[in-house]
Structure 1
């Protein structure tokens, strides 16, 4: 049975839930509106074996349950839990369950703007990376890609992941771009404030403040102790609170401050404010919780 698939996606490619000879399969795929990501693919297989095949994109794979064995460039490989596997484009590989109960995986297909052709050779030599931080970031990227409203977060996480992958594959290389100057974080903050409602892509922000996307995210996080996407979300929630206090319905407040829809506002509002926008609005209009009725403000 398919569970917890995103409610809204930019372009759903397919969702499949079948059971054949007591061998359940769960598959979901979509194309998000995030530059560099060709496809997101989630699957659970108990017995399916992929034949030898190739992709024209980079395959970034994490396994959440079980394990996958595969052949790449005539070498047998496996994806134990906790690793990140990166299979290069144009190189044949197969895949099959390495455990009796199969496997559950999440895959991102990335285009050549994220990782260039010069990394194909190193990826063939070392496709499986034991990097807990990278593994966590890839998982968080999948979560962000599940909601169209979290595209800016997805772009930020993808920039970090691309930089970390390049560091694994070409550890001796210097960064392609110079480090950002001291004013970059301030410039980005001003841009995010100015474009809070309509938003801005990470690529556009990097172009406007003249910094590499990954360096931009790092500089902002170092300067303000918060990631750019977290800053935007918290500012939007703050604005939504003011609108709710003014009697604006939650759905209108969500649109007014830049959230994708009301459910997008609700998810982030509850996480930050500890309650839903609707409940917050009811309290704001005078329906104070019973337990607070007798409390006096300090003099």
Structure 2
């Protein structure tokens, strides 16, 4: 038997624009998904494996994980005992503001390497996370800013100049707009392709090339983002499910946990999600 899985996802008033997660996962698997901000964290024990930018990465104890905004990735245990980690999810605005103070030049910072070793940066992130958990607002806000600054100075780059838009660029942009507008009653693939004047297979290829996800998976990501906003407002999960287009609360819970890491109820109460002991197979 293994120890139970446990996860807590919450926000601290001292860290506006930053979500926090402390978790231990064994069998949980994150589906392919994206964050609208950065995902920055430290592995406490075990090994996490994740697919990112066409490569499978392994992050062991003490490693730092650095994932850029809107970049598709997964997440699962890299060994039978699972992994434990502390994650911070700063918004683009938070990181851009720090980068503007510390780094010369313009543009949004990005992290070329997804897994790095930086003991000082890891210690700062852990200290910031621990301080937030204990309600030490001054310490958490100070340490988080210093930690992000250290990582930017040592591991961040600037995105290269963009290339000319591809032939499918405008079709994908319009398709994304339609999916944003029609969370509850999305069109079929054929109708979506017709609306953007593209063939269905052409649209699938262009959409996945641009976003990393096929249209239906992208739609579920949008639904989960909207669900988080509604849960934050206090709306019951059962109603949230219908408001964002899921068939029922179980459907919402399944997709929500695969992307956020905790079920909607645990997210809403900012409490700890815990499973029972699991048998090894």
Question: TM-score scaled by structure 1?
Answer: 0.46
Work out which structure has the larger RCO, using CA pairs closer than 8 Å and 6 or more positions apart in sequence. Answer: 2
Greater gyration radius? 1
